[in-house]
Every structure is written in structure tokens, then in C-alpha cells.
């Protein structure tokens, strides 16, 4: 095992993610709660999967395991060609930084940084030279229609613009997989539809896979595939 925190591809990268027999069990004393129960899920590069389920269904746990935030109790997790199941915390940190993009429900932009700086902060400890990171950030802001707002703080942006900044931030590291947590939960129907259309177009143009964690069935027509999860059990 590499103890430096670096990551090495170990599998076919045509699959962005492959979860096999994944279980997550929380134990408290003699009792246990099964959050995920033998989940199998394969996601090809470029595919957008809508993961639909009510609160407490296990969808956040599944995304956290695919993103290297949580470790499974059993099973295999391969993302971007890397078998991460046995990674150390240091290796998982490197994996998340280099392979995964996150777009959180609350967007989580740094309020005192401009739109451009919110993208650049991803690469502060990343792999690019500073000038290359700036060029990457400017490229993404232009593609997302945010060039004129690059020096604006999050508080000066609309909800849709903040979502686009968050998408740009998630794409800064050229991820194999982007995880979206309830991206339309705070948006009305029209804006939610616009944001999902934007997510689809940005993922497709880059052939980047995505899991969209949602309880909103209205967004599923933007996905290539919808899977439902209830009580930790996945149903395609």
C-alpha cells in the first residue's frame, strides 16, 4: 500500500464507479442499524444517475461511500479505476481532492471569496501550477456564463449563479465522478429545471459521470437512469 497519499489506477476507467456488495452498518452496543444492504451499482463514464429516496433511505450514505467520505463495512468500491476500499485516511483525502467533485445542497461557497477565488481554493493544494489553475478557473467561469461575475462575492449572486459557481468548483479537478446533493431542493420548479439542464449539459460535454441524490422525482427526466433506494436497499 502506498503510504504517501498518492493514488494509482487499478481498474478499467471506462467505468466511473463500481460498488459491489457494499454494506454500511452502524453499531451501538449490541444493536445495529443497516444503512446500506449489499448495494451493487455500476456507473459508466458520462452517465448521470438519479438516486431517489426519502430522508433516511441511505442515499446520502451511498454517495458518501462513493466519494470516499465514509468507508463501507463490507464490499468493494472502485471509482475512477481505483479500488479505494482499503485506503488510509491520507489516501482518501488525496482521492477526494483528485478524483471527486462535490456539489452540496447548501452550495457551501466561501462567503468572503469571489466566484473565481471559490474555484481556485480547490487547487490550492492540488496538482496545478498557480497560473494553470487560474486559467482553468477562468475557462470554467466562461463556460458557465459567469465571466462577468468572477469578482462577485456569493452574496452578490443569485441562487442560480451560486449553483453554477458550485458546479464550476466541482469540475476544477477534472473529476471522474461528481456527487450532487439535492441540487434543486431550495429552487422553484423553473429554476430547478434550469439547474438540472445545466448539470446535464456540463457533465455530458466532459463525459463526466454524476450521481444526483434527490427526493424530487421531477428531476429524473434529466438523468440517463433512475435508481430508487429504500431502507438501504437499491432498486433499479
pTM of the model: 0.85
The tens digit of pLDDT for each residue in 135-161 reads 999 999 998 889 999 999 999 998 888
Nearest to 183 by CA among 99, 119, 110, 106: 106
DSSP 141-175: HHHTT-GGGTT--GGGS-HHHHHHHHHHHHHTT--
3-state secondary structure 97-120: HHHEEEECCCCCCCCCCCHHHHHH
Domain edges within the chain:
15-108+176-235
Residue 91 confidence (pLDDT): 96
Query: Does the 15-108+176-235 domain belong in CATH 3.40.50.300?
Result: yes
Residue 127 confidence (pLDDT): 61
Nearest to 105 by CA among 235, 214, 205, 234: 214
Exposure b/e, 138-162, CB count within 10 A at least 16 = b: bebbebbebeebbebbbeebeebbb
Residue 187 confidence (pLDDT): 72
Helix (H, G, I), strand (E, B) or coil at 223: coil
The tens digit of pLDDT for each residue in 173-218 reads 889 999 999 888 777 788 788 888 889 998 999 999 999 999 888 8
DSSP conformation class of 192: H
Across the chain, mean pLDDT equals 88
CB atoms inside a 10 Å sphere around CB 174: 13
Amino acid at each position: 500500500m502506498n503510504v504517501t497519499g498518492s493514488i494509482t489506477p487499478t481498474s478499467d476507467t471506462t467505468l466511473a464507479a463500481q460498488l459491489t456488495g457494499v454494506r454500511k452498518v452502524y453499531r451501538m452496543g449490541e444493536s445495529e442499524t443497516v444503512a446500506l444492504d449489499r448495494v451493487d451499482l455500476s456507473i459508466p463514464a458520462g452517465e448521470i444517475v438519479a438516486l431517489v429516496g426519502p430522508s433516511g433511505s441511505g442515499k446520502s450514505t451511498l454517495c458518501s461511500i462513493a466519494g470516499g467520505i465514509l468507508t463501507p463495512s463490507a464490499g468493494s468500491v472502485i471509482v475512477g479505476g481505483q479500488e479505494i476500499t482499503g485506503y488510509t485516511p491520507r489516501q482518501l483525502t488525496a482521492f477526494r481532492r483528485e478524483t471527486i467533485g462535490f456539489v452540496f445542497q447548501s452550495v457551501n461557497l466561501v462567503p468572503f471569496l469571489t466566484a473565481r477565488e471559490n474555484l481556485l481554493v480547490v487547487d490550492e493544494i492540488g496538482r496545478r501550477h498557480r497560473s494553470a489553475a487560474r486559467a482553468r478557473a477562468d475557462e470554467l467561469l466562461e463556460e458557465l456564463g459567469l465571466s462577468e461575475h468572477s469578482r462577485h462575492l456569493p452574496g452578490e449572486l443569485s441562487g442560480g449563479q451560486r449553483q453554477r459557481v458550485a458546479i464550476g468548483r466541482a469540475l476544477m479537478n477534472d473529476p471522474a465522478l461528481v456527487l450532487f446533493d439535492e441540487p434543486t431542493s431550495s429552487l422553484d420548479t423553473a429554476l430547478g429545471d434550469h439547474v438540472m439542464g445545466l448539470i446535464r449539459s456540463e457533465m455530458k460535454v466532459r463525459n463526466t459521470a454524476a450521481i444526483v441524490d434527490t427526493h424530487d422525482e421531477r428531476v429524473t427526466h434529466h438523468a440517463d437512469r433512475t435508481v430508487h433506494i429504500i431502507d438501504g436497499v437499491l432498486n433499479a
